[in-house]
């Protein structure tokens, strides 16, 4: 169990719901505030941005090649990759404004840093409650060591990593003195086909890392898969969030709308409650219902005094307030001490 603010993050508990805004604000802080408002309204615990600049996310080669990473932006001629990256990035000043707005709305603020400078600002200035490490940095061991030394809980996305790389990433964080690690199962291409999601990986991570909670960072379309992840015990659900799937921008098509996120939040609460405990227990309601629904030994026909009880003259009927079915065999061949009319329940003093 790991504490994020006042929230206890644990496997098979009520999941911590993160509305991933990333760059869905499209560089417009009024749009970002609307996203925060709606994430709060539907019950999300946290909104998360991504802290990067044109300099911290890509090298010069990527800009020279002008290679757009998402299908909506391949072969565009009306702007360059650098232009769109600069448009969609969020400055330190804007991040500070968003942190203050989240405080005002009483919703957790978080961001994914892409450089050590962005880590410092997130931790030392914005006082974030946790650090999210993107899948692309799961093998960025110098960066992981730096993040680990900050002492905050870490959500480590595993989407692009082999099992060996995840193991080394966890070891790097541990060696940096950090054992507040939340592993996020993730498929990093957008969107994955259902058969590519492999939610059973969550069970595998829990078996390999029993000390660490396991969550799910989702890139599927719709709300069904994240709810299924809650059924698998996810401690965190991270889902891209938008006002409109058709809006211009990188991630809107794979994002949840307000109504989809509302279903994820409310459904997660119901599912986590329904999971309950692995310990089998009979409730007081069950005991009361036993009396009405279970069966007791009943005379199948009129039974004379001195007659032997048999399989022919006994049967089992509701309610369950008399001699239970498991004792019926012990009554067979016993002698009736008095006459019993048909459909009367057999009592212990009848034999």
pTM, two decimals, is: 0.87
- What's the mean pLDDT in 169-194? 95
The sign one gets for the Cα dihedral 216, 219, 225, 226 is positive
End-to-end CA distance of the chain, in Å?
Answer: 58
Say what percent of the chain tops pLDDT 70: 96
Positive or negative torsion for Cα 11, 12, 17, 20: positive
254 closest CA partner among 228, 217, 212, 229? 217
Domain boundaries, the chain: 2-53+89-275, 284-350
In this prediction, residue 64 has a pLDDT band, given cuts at 50, 70 and 90, of confident
Q: What share of the chain is helix, strand, coil (3-state, %, to 5)?
A: 40, 20, 40
Instruction: Write out the H or E segment, with its range, that includes residue 81.
Output: helix 81-88
Residue 69 pLDDT exceeds 60: no
Assess whether pLDDT exceeds 80 at residue 339: yes
Q: Where are the beta strands (DSSP E) in 128-188?
A: 131-133, 154-157, 181-186
Q: Do domains 2-53+89-275 and 284-350 have the same CATH topology?
A: no
Contact 188, 160 (CB under 8 A): yes
Say how far apart CA 33 and CA 98 lie, in whole Å.
Answer: 7
| CATH number given to 284-350 | 3.90.1210.10
* pLDDT tens column, 99-149: 999 999 999 999 999 999 999 999 999 999 999 999 999 999 999 999 999
Mean pLDDT of the chain: 92
Give the residue from 49, 54, 61 showing the smallest Cα distance to 85.
Answer: 54
When mean pLDDT is compared across 61-65, 110-114, 129-133, 240-244, the lowest value belongs to 61-65
The stretch 210-239 carries a mean pLDDT of 97
- Residue 25 has phi, psi (to 5 degrees) of -75, -10
Q: Is the confidence at residue 159, as pLDDT, over 70?
A: yes
Measured distance CA(44)–CA(347) in Å, rounded: 59
Percent above pLDDT 90 for the chain: 78
* Residue of 16 and 86 predicted with greater confidence: 16
Residue 253 CB contacts under 8 Å (≥ 6 apart), including other chains: 72, 190, 191, 221, 245, 246
**Is the predicted pLDDT of residue 196 greater than 90, yes or no?**
yes
Q: Provide the CATH number for the domain formed by 2-53+89-275 in this structure.
A: 3.20.20.70
3-state secondary structure at position 165: helix
| Nearest-angstrom CA–CA distance, 77 and 226 | 36
Tens-place pLDDT, residues 283-327: 888 888 888 899 999 999 999 999 999 999 999 999 999 999 999
Give residue 67's pLDDT: 63
User: pLDDT at residue 59 above 80?
Assistant: no
Strand bridging mode 131-133 / 154-157:
parallel
């Amino acid at each position: 169990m790991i504490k994020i603010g006042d929230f206890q993050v644990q496997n098979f508990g009520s999941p911590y719901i993160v509305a991933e805004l990333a760059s869905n604000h499209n560089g417009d802080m009024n749009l970002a505030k609307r996203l925060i408002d709606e994430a709060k309204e539907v019950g999300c615990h946290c909104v998360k941005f991504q802290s990067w600049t044109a300099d911290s996310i890509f090298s010069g080669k990527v800009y020279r090649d002008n290679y757009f990473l998402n299908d909506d932006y391949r072969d565009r001629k009306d702007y360059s990759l650098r232009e769109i990256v600069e448009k969609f990035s969020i400055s330190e000043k804007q991040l500070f404004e968003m942190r203050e707005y989240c405080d005002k709305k009483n919703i957790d603020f978080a961001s994914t840093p892409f450089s050590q400078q962005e880590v410092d600002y997130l931790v030392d200035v914005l006082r974030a409650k946790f650090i999210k490490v993107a899948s692309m940095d799961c093998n960025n061991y110098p960066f992981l060591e730096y993040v680990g030394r900050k002492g905050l809980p870490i959500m480590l996305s595993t989407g692009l990593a082999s099992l060996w790389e995840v193991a080394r990433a966890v070891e790097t964080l541990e060696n940096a003195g950090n054992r507040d690690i939340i592993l996020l199962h993730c498929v990093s291409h957008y969107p994955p086909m259902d058969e590519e999601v492999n939610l059973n990986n969550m069970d595998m991570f829990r078996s390999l890392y029993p000390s660490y909670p396991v969550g799910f960072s989702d890139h599927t379309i719709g709300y069904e898969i994240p709810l299924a992840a809650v059924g698998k015990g996810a401690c965190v659900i991270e889902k891209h969030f938008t006002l409109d799937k058709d809006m211009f921008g990188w991630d809107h098509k794979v994002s949840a709308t307000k109504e989809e996120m509302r279903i994820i939040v409310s459904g997660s609460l119901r599912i986590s409650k329904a999971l309950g405990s692995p310990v089998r227990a009979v409730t007081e309601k069950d005991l009361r219902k036993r009396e009405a629904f279970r069966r007791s030994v009943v005379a199948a026909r009129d039974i004379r005094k001195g007659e032997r009880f048999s399989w022919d003259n006994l049967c089992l009927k509701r309610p369950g307030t008399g001699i239970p079915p498991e004792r019926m065999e012990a009554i067979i061949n016993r002698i009736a001490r008095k006459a019993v009319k048909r459909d009367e329940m057999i009592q212990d003093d009848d034999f």
